[in-house]
Amino acid sequence: MNLLRTPARLHVNGVALWSQRLPGWERARQVLAGREAAPQEPASRPAPELLPPTERRRAPDTVSVAMEAALSACKSAQLPPASLPCVFSSMHGDLTITDYMCSTMATTPTLVSPTKFHNSVHNAAAGYWTIAAECTRPYTSLSAGDFSFGAGLLETCVQALAGNENVLLVAYDIDARGPLAPVAASKGLLSVGLIVSPQRGPRALAQFDLEVVSGSGLQPSRARPENAALVAGNSTESCLPFVEALALGGTHDLLCLATPTLGLKLHLEAA
Amino acid sequence: MQPLSITAFTATCAAGAGRAELLRALDTGRTGLAPNDFGREPLKTWVGRVAGVEESPLPADFAHYECRNNRLAWMGLRRDGFLDAVEAARRRHGSDRVALVLGTSTSSIGATEEAYTRLTPEGHFPEDLRYQAVHTPHSTGEFLQRVLGLSNVGVTVATACSSSAKAYAQAARLIELGIADAAVVGGVDSLCGSVLFGFNSLALVSPEPCRPFDAQRAGISIGEAAAFALLEREGKGPRLSGYGESSDAHHMSTPHPSGRGARLAMNDALARASLGPAAIDYINLHGTASLKNDEIEAQAIAEMFPAHTHASSTKGWTGHTLGAAGALEAVVTLLSLESGLMPGNLNTRELDPTCGPQVRLDNASGRVRHALSNSFGFGGSNCVLLFAAE
């Protein structure tokens, strides 16, 4: 049964993707559709062009990949970054900084770096983005375990429907470091950006009808194995079936989980 | 917006466990702050520490969620009949119609910090802390959803000190769209090294009990809390009548100099309820007692609200409970609507000259019909909640 009171149709007005094997949407689209091979050498991490040059190199990995996805999605939709409410979603936040904070607490807590501390908040990437984009619209920063991408997509759709406007989703996770790695496993850098609205934008890639369904035994859609392998192990990898459908074009029925027992059922058609 | 009913609410913090204790502390001016005794080498500051967390284990079935934050959540749930109210809502609406939206900034990071102090000789986590369930920001959200038996949306909002105010806004939209019929919203943050030493590194921690809006204020006192509310379309209780959200777009750890984001959020909350500033009887301010926050917030309040609005920060009672502050101070605001008690600023001796007549030293009582609660966070995330008496 659809939990949404009325059927909802939304448009994907912008998209972005960045991972070491899928560096940027144009390349990713070709690779995910099977028209090109993925790069053999992993790409080095992006330099967020909205940050001042001195800060680009020092930016934490989460900030770097999240800002790349956010800006590329805005460009793809031809929308000014300052105009968009945004939803940032990450299972872990910045695992490199978590490792730093916890090892510093265990050894020399009074010497903790103030910059690392304020970068350790889960909303650091969202904060840097709204500062750089001069965006005073609201943002949120979410985590929902392994279902963080789906929870972020649901919140994005909710905000887009409630406000009848474009909303930016940025979902990302990075490598786990140090002793934390075996228990909070995440591999590689991955970020995805989507701009969703009930109104069709000039550069819309697809539209989808959304149902929200609950129940045990919901089976999420899977990406093609060769595509799934390109981002396997990253905690945001569950974005791939949705992104793959956008790359392939045509019509797709997808199920994306927002919790183990709550799913977004999407009937997606390329524009 | 269509106002939502708050059919149950509760809070546990240093100033009191449950509504009656908290209201008594507010009324009698008894602070929950005490010299910091948390951790191996406690930082010289004052904290709002909740008594008894160490002696309150989780139910045996949930042992893999054991950590200070989840214990505090479980303590908080068992006050004021809140568990029963959620159970009744679950029966009334169905478990798949009741959402869980939790705000937290610390979540269970204290457990990860502990694991780093007890690494095995090979550099691994000790056996008893090798559960992913306590090494992820969603730990407390997942624990709460499971322990309450809910299967609608279950999500953690982590926007630093606005987290659990934003939980109300997100839950309200879920109910508005019909995805949920009810929502458990809340905030849980607990003392840990990262926040004590982290805020200390930014020179924001006071060596004495915090003095919000005092001309001589010297920084924040960190606290911990668990606070919850049950939102429904209909039912008895005070109302959530508006919310406002914005971003400062200025700096990661300093508010915008003219309070741009704070003003946007307050105006957004008022607009959503179609109210003007003159309708507001009480404002629970963010009022951390940091130099910048209080100066900028006081200025915005002085310019936006009439003299009869009573405004105060209650962090002198509770400390700054960070990710739980929005939900805790929502409960303080709801208690004010119910009792007519409008708290002053505890520990504050002389108000900063930037304060207008709205910011009061002393408690007052009167009829409170509409009240705001402000929450502003690192990363420039602002959220303001507007509540109305039943």
Closest residue in A to B251 (Cα) is: A131
Q: Given pLDDT bands bounded at 50, 70 and 90, which one contains residue B364?
A: very high
- Least confident segment among A47-56, B284-293, B358-367: A47-56
CA of residue B373 relative to chain centroid, distance:
10
Count Cβ atoms below 10 Å from residue B93 Cβ, excluding itself.
16
What H or E segment, with its residue span, contains residue B222?
A: strand B222-223
Q: A184 phi and psi, to 5 degrees?
A: -125, 60
Cβ distance B243 to B157 under 8 Å? no
Query: H helices of chain A, where?
Result: 25-32, 53-56, 61-77, 95-107, 114-119, 124-132, 148-163, 225-231, 240-248
Considering only CA atoms, which of B269, B97, B77 is closest in space to residue B183? Answer: B97
What H or E segment, with its residue span, contains residue B174?
A: helix B163-176
| pLDDT of amino acid A5 | 76
Domain containing A88 equals: 8-270
Beta bridge partners of B331: none
**CA atoms lying within 13 Å on the CB side of residue B135:** 25
End-to-end CA distance of chain A: 27
Q: Given pLDDT bands bounded at 50, 70 and 90, which one contains residue B22?
A: very high
For residues B21-33, give the mean pLDDT: 98
Cβ distance A98 to A179 under 8 Å? no
Chain B residues close to A259, C-beta within 8 Å: 145, 151, 153-155
Q: How far is A261 from chain B (nearest CA, A)?
A: 6
Q: B10: helix, coil or strand?
A: strand
| pLDDT of amino acid B51 | 97
Q: Residue B219 sits in a domain of what CATH number?
A: 3.40.47.10
Count Cβ atoms below 10 Å from residue B367 Cβ, excluding itself.
8
Are A101 and B198 within 8 A, CB to CB?
Answer: yes
Residue A149 lies in a domain: yes
| pLDDT of amino acid B264 | 98
Q: What percent of chain B has pLDDT over 70?
A: 100
Q: How far is A37 from chain B (nearest CA, A)?
A: 35
Please identify which residue in the block is written with the tokens 């004021």. Answer: B80
| pLDDT of amino acid A2 | 82
- Dist. CA B183–CA B111, nearest whole Å: 28
Number of domains in chain A: 1
- Dist. CA A170–CA A39, nearest whole Å: 24
Point out the residue among B105, B125, B251 whose CB comes nearest to the CB of A183.
B125
Residue A15 lies in a domain: yes
Q: Establish if B377 touches chain A: CB-CB under 8 angstroms.
A: yes
Q: A16 phi and psi, to 5 degrees?
A: -150, 150
What are the DSSP calls for B148-210, one per residue? TT--S-EEEE--GGGHHHHHHHHHHHHHHTTS-SEEEEEEEE---HHHHHHHHHTT-B-SSS-
- What residue type is B213 in one-letter code? F
Q: Given pLDDT bands bounded at 50, 70 and 90, which one contains residue B131?
A: confident
Q: A211: helix, coil or strand?
A: strand
Residue A79 lies in a domain: yes
- Per-window interface: B 39-78 vs A, CB < 8 A: 41, 43
pLDDT tens-digit map of B137-159: 999 999 999 999 999 999 999 99
Q: Given pLDDT bands bounded at 50, 70 and 90, which one contains residue A48?
A: confident
Q: Residue A100 sits in a domain of what CATH number?
A: 3.40.47.10
CA of residue B347 relative to chain centroid, distance:
20
Q: Which pair of structure tokens corresponds to residue A213? A: 């369904």
Residue A170 lies in a domain: yes
Count Cβ atoms below 10 Å from residue A187 Cβ, excluding itself.
17
Dihedral angle over CA of A218, A221, A225, A231, nearest 10? -100
- Residues, chain A: 271
ipTM of the complex: 0.97
For residues B360-371, give the mean pLDDT: 98
Residue A2 lies in a domain: no
pLDDT tens-digit map of B277-328: 999 999 999 999 999 999 999 999 999 999 999 999 999 999 999 999 999 9
Point out the residue among B116, B129, B264 whose CB comes nearest to the CB of A105.
B116
Helix %, strand %, coil % of chain B (to 5): 40, 20, 40
| pLDDT of amino acid A1 | 73
- What residue type is B22 in one-letter code? L
Domain containing B279 equals: 4-388
Choosing among A149, A259, A261, A264, which should be mutated to test the B contact, i.e. which has the most B CBs within 10 A?
A259
Are A144 and B138 within 8 A, CB to CB?
Answer: yes
- Dist. CA B381–CA B262, nearest whole Å: 9
The pLDDT of residue A3 is above 90: no
Please identify which residue in the block is written with the tokens 């759709």. Answer: A157
The residues of B that are catalytic are 161, 286, 320
Within B277-353, strands assigned E span 282-284, 310-312, 341-342
- Dist. CA B80–CA B91, nearest whole Å: 19
Number of domains in chain B: 1
- What residue type is B172 in one-letter code? A
| pLDDT of amino acid B132 | 84
Beta bridge partners of A12: A196, A206
The pLDDT of residue B13 is above 90: yes
- Per-window interface: B 244-273 vs A, CB < 8 A: 245-253, 260-261, 264
Average pLDDT, chain A: 96
What pTM was estimated for this model as a whole? 0.98
pLDDT tens-digit map of B191-217: 999 999 999 999 999 999 999 999 999
Residue A3 lies in a domain: no
pLDDT tens-digit map of A105-157: 999 999 999 999 999 999 999 999 999 999 999 999 999 999 999 999 999 99
For residues B354-378, give the mean pLDDT: 98
Considering only CA atoms, which of A151, A114, A124, A21 is closest in space to residue A66? Answer: A124
The pLDDT of residue A57 is above 90: no
